[in-house]
A and B are shown apart, each in its own frame.
Chain A
Amino acid sequence: MRKLFIKAFSFIIGFTVIFNLSGTLADEVAPLDDWRNEHAGRVANLQAKKDRIEAVTLGNSHSDSINYSVLGIEGQSLAFAAADLFEVERYAASLENKLPALKTVFIAVSYYSFSRDNATFEPFRTRRIRFYSMVPTWPPIRGDLSVFLLGKLDAITHIMSVVRSDSWKGVWTGLANDVPAADPFPYDGVRSDSVWGECYHYTAEQLETHAKEITRRNVSSSRQMASAHPALVQDASDALARTIERFNSRGIQVILFTPPYYQTYNVFFAEQGSDMIEDMRRAIYNLQQSYHVGYYDFSGDSEFTIYPELFYNSDHLSECGTRVFTEKLLDVMRTNGDFDK
């Protein structure tokens, strides 16, 4: 047995070295969207301003529509791409007692928010693993133990640098070209001077092309998730309800909002996923009835939807768009008495 232990120990040590070298090489050649660095930056910022932060944004990338400098309060976005409502709930739990000055939480609700469960299949599952790796949360989301363990393992070992959802394709491509892999999502929009100032945005043609592709992807992936997770709408709705309850019990106000989408995005989404939009509106209505939570729907607001300059792409506002949107949101919230700053 002594022989076994010595060999097993040597194997593990050797493998750890090889594993880490491989991961480091892979990260060097094809970084994993820089998500670890981005999160480290957020954590550092939260830590530095924890006594001053009055508002945070949770949810998927649509949550980044809020510009805190316009809102005039100390706030931070904790949104990350493709986050689902189960992850939002866990993120909310991880903030418990960490931000003493927190008064408001903004949560973006997209058309498909109630039809998402990232744990169901790749590449979304990798996002869930990243979530667990980044966010100090316990227990795992129901039925999600493997992904949870993998995420926590990654927090310690950076295993995801080796276990890559692209099966190392990016690394080989990067090595073959002898240059770091190109940004997988290079921005190919235009810059223009507009009444809102200098805006980086997609042209109308680009927005239409993008809308067609992104709605197809969003609707089809949501349908796949719904088929893999029975009663997904109800479960997601319950997760959001628990999130609202958690914040309300500590006297923190929750504001739900749907940001503006470019007109063609709305058209294509309605064509393919009108049932999802219905589910979303029904769920929000029920939550409003139960918790009197504020909800602001700008998805079809024609002050935004027809202006390409306000859109980074068809379902995300440009920097100009976030400024204009935040100003309008602020106005409406003040009118409704939801915001007293």
Chain B
Amino acid sequence: MKFNTLQFLAFFPVVATLFFILPHRWRWILLLAGSYLFYMSWNPKYIIVLLVVTAVGYVVGLWLTRETDPKTRRLILIFGLAIILGILFFFKYFNETNHLLQMFSQGVGSDLLAGIHVVLPLGISFFTLQAISYIIDTYRGVARPEKHAGIFALFIAFFPHLTAGPIARANHLLPQFYEPHAADYEKIVTGLQRMAWGFFKKLVIADRLALLVNPIYDKPSSYAGAVLILATYAFAFQIYCDFSGYADIAIGVARVMGFQLQENFQRPYYAQSIVDFWRRWHISLYNWLRDYIFYPMSRALHRNNIRSKNILGLLLPPIATMLVSGLWHGTNWTFLIWGALHGMFMVVSVLTSRWKNRFHLPFTLPSHITAGLKIIATFNLVSFAWIFFRANSLSDAIYILGHLFVNPPLRSSLFQSIPGGQYEWMIALLALLLVETVHWMQERNGSLRSVIRRQPAWLRWSAYYGLVLVIFMFGKFEANEFIYSRF
């Protein structure tokens, strides 16, 4: 079930109403049943994958607490991680590996593997990472192992974040299932507002931009360089509005019921460096990669005295972390290059930081100009990397890169060839302007909620009516999947 379907709009009010009607001790059953129903509406048989990951996480977590011998605990950890990573790798990378094996097997005259295609279970990249973080945190003694199998299953399968995050941590979410959430006016209203904002981003902007970007990226050779540049910037906003729209809806849905999910985005295109970007973009994944790959690797290198002496010590952690990030999205070369690019940007950023601090212009620029220039530079680097992320193949990405500045002048005739027509672009642009205005206000004032709360009722209600009406008038109600639910 996708958030942007009528099924969900029927499902959620029923679950939320029952949640508040039921006594606290029964609520986990309702949420768990609802979450499994939510998942099974996509493909019932894949619930088995979710159940297996849940069972492994639960058993390994308890096992780790009962065992005191460090060597045995380490073996249990490896066992648990191997099973979950095995499941993730099988579903995520089988088709690619099979493709290579097929080429090999056909070479030796066998077609044994031909025709085998594994469907990627929805949200597998998210709920497996969540289970892994739980196991590692339990091993490290950071997280308290969950003894209640039902609550643990709910931690893994909680429907608001099941298909595309945010990736929750045990310490943050598990205790919330034990809290008796009473229906709170403030939480319900802010949750609904957040959902509406998410729907606006997804239905009005992301799905509209998809109609404009997809034809260009599907056949880049048909378009001039200026159009390719335009499509690349448009994709930067499409993926942001799509993914952050999902996060807004997920956070809003959870909030209505009194739960607090981790924020996944913090106005990423206001980042002043690539490192800053990753503190603002897909925060829960970045934190996961940082805690379970970057820090352990840096510590290991440090222990071996490599970090300070060797360039390898400086290069390896960020590049390896971002390569894993790319690999997490898929085995395509385009994702790997996207990850590698971000890793390299990070390394360059760190290497040049000392030099940048020593470099002085003969004149002093006002700080907001400097910040603006940094934001523009970072946005362009990120958009450049998006080319690889979005391109259908490496050859397409190379073609686009090679033709970005071919026939660049922006003439009106060029715009006539852009899919979607001027009207659709204009709506997308106006909607983005609204989003960026809100972002700008958030950057200046912090929470927008407090600004809204200070306004007179007629203005607030007009804004709410306006937002919902705009979603109905300009939304694309084609139940397009969220980009990140593919991963």
Residues of A in contact with B (beta carbons under 8 Å apart): 1, 3-4, 7, 11, 14-15, 18-19, 22, 121-122, 125, 145-146, 149-150, 153, 159, 162-164, 167-169
Instruction: Let me know if B469 and A19 touch, CB within 8 A.
Output: yes
Within 8 A of A (CB), among B468-487: 468-469, 472-479
Residue of B nearest to A173 (CB): B423
B5 within 8 A of A: yes
Chain A: minimal CB distance from B386 (Å) = 25
Say yes or no for B188: interface residue by CB 8 A criterion: yes
Contacts of B479 in A (CB 8 A): 146
Main SS class of interface, B: helix
Q: Closest A-chain residue to B471, C-beta based?
A: A163
With A146-B7, A167-B424 in contact, do A15 and B465 touch (Cβ < 8 Å)? yes
Contacts of B6 in A (CB 8 A): 145-146, 149-150, 153
**New A-B pairs, 19, CB < 8 Å, besides A145-B6, A145-B7, A146-B6:** A4-B183, A4-B188, A4-B189, A14-B461, A14-B465, A18-B469, A22-B469, A121-B478, A122-B478, A125-B478, A146-B479, A149-B7, A149-B10, A162-B472, A163-B472, A163-B473, A164-B473, A167-B424, A168-B474
Can you list 6 pairs linking A and B with CB atoms under 8 Å apart? A3-B185, A4-B189, A19-B469, A153-B6, A168-B473, A168-B474
| 6 pairs of A and B residues whose beta carbons are closest in the complex | A149-B6, A146-B5, A4-B185, A146-B6, A162-B472, A169-B423
- B468 close to A15 (CB less than 8 A): yes
Chain B residue numbers with a CB within 8 Å of A163 are: 472-473, 475, 477
Please name the residue on chain B nearest to A171 by beta carbon: B473
Residues of B contacting A15 in the complex (Cβ-Cβ under 8 angstroms): 465, 468-469
Are B185 and A22 in contact, CB atoms less than 8 angstroms apart?
no
Q: Please give, as numbers and ranges, the residues of chain B lying within 8 Å of A121 by CB-CB distance.
A: 478
How many angstroms between the C-alpha atoms of A121 and B473 in the bound complex? 18
Quick one: which of B423, B473, B478 contacts A162, CB cutoff 8 A? B473
What's the least CB distance linking A23 to chain B, in Å? 9
Measured between alpha carbons, how far is A39 from B189 in the docked complex, in Å? 41
On chain B, the residues within 8 Å of A14 by CB distance are 461, 465
Is there a chain A Cβ closer than 8 Å to B464's Cβ?
Answer: yes
For B464, what are the chain A residues with a Cβ–Cβ distance below 8 Å?
11
A169 and B421 alpha carbons, distance in the complex (Å): 11
Residues of the A chain whose Cβ atoms lie less than 8 Å from the Cβ of B189: 4, 7
- CA distance in complex: A168, B204 (Å): 13
Q: Is B427 an interface position by the 8 A CB rule?
A: yes
Task: State the CA gap A163–B479 with chains docked (Å).
Answer: 14
Given contacts A14-B465, A163-B472, contact A1 B185 (CB under 8 A): yes
Residues of B within 8 A of A22 (CB): 469, 473
Q: Kindly list chain A residues whose C-beta atoms are within 8 Å of the C-beta of B183.
A: 1, 4
CB distance from B431 to the nearest CB of A (A): 11
Instruction: For the complex, count residues of B whose C-beta is within 8 A of A.
Output: 24
* Distance, CA A207 to CA B5, complexed state (A): 41
- Cα(A121)–Cα(B423), bound, Å: 20
B53 to chain A, nearest CB (A): 27
Determine which of A11, A145, A167 lies in contact with B427 in the assembled complex, contact meaning CB atoms within 8 Å. A167
B5 neighbours in A (Cβ, 8 Å): 145-146
> CA A174 – CA B311 in complex, angstroms?
66
CB distance from A220 to the nearest CB of B (A): 12
Q: What separation, in Å, do the CA atoms of A14 and B478 have in the docked complex?
A: 27
Task: Name the residue on A nearest B192 (C-beta).
Answer: A8
The closest CB in chain B to the CB of A4 belongs to B185
- Whole-angstrom distance from the CB of A266 to the nearest CB of chain B? 29
Given the complex of chains A and B, what is the CA–CA distance between A19 and B475 in angstroms?
15
Residues from chain B with a CB closer than 8 A to the CB of A162 are: 469, 472-473
Give the nearest-CB partner of A169 in chain B. Answer: B423
A168 to B188, alpha carbons, bound, how many Å?
A: 32
Minimal beta-carbon separation of A96 from chain B (angstroms): 27
CA distance A146 to B185 in the complex (A): 30
Residue of B nearest to A23 (CB): B472
Residue ID in chain B nearest A166 by CB atoms: B423
Which of the residues B424, B465, B468, B477 comes within 8 Å of A150, measured between beta carbons? B477
- Which of the listed residues B10, B188, B468, B477 has the most CB atoms from chain A within 10 Å of its own CB? B477
Cβ–Cβ < 8 Å partners of B423 in chain A: 167, 169
> Which A residues are CB-close (under 8 A) to B424?
167
Which of A18, A19, A164, A167 has the largest count of B CB atoms less than 10 A from its CB?
A167
Interface residues of B in 419-473 (CB under 8 A from A): 423-424, 427, 461, 464-465, 468-469, 472-473
Q: Which residue of A lies closest to B477 (CB)?
A: A163
Please, how many angstroms separate the alpha-carbon atoms of A316 and B340 in the complex? 57
Rounded to whole angstroms, the CA-CA distance of A145 and B464 in the bound complex is: 28
Taking CB atoms, residues of chain A closer than 8 Å to B475 are 163
User: Complex: how many Å from CA A164 to CA B424?
Assistant: 13
Q: How far is the CB of B3 from chain A (nearest CB, A)?
A: 12
Complex contacts, B465 vs chain A, CB 8 Å: 14-15, 18
Chain A, Cβ-Cβ closest to B186:
A4
Q: Which residues of B contact A7 (CB under 8 A)?
A: 189
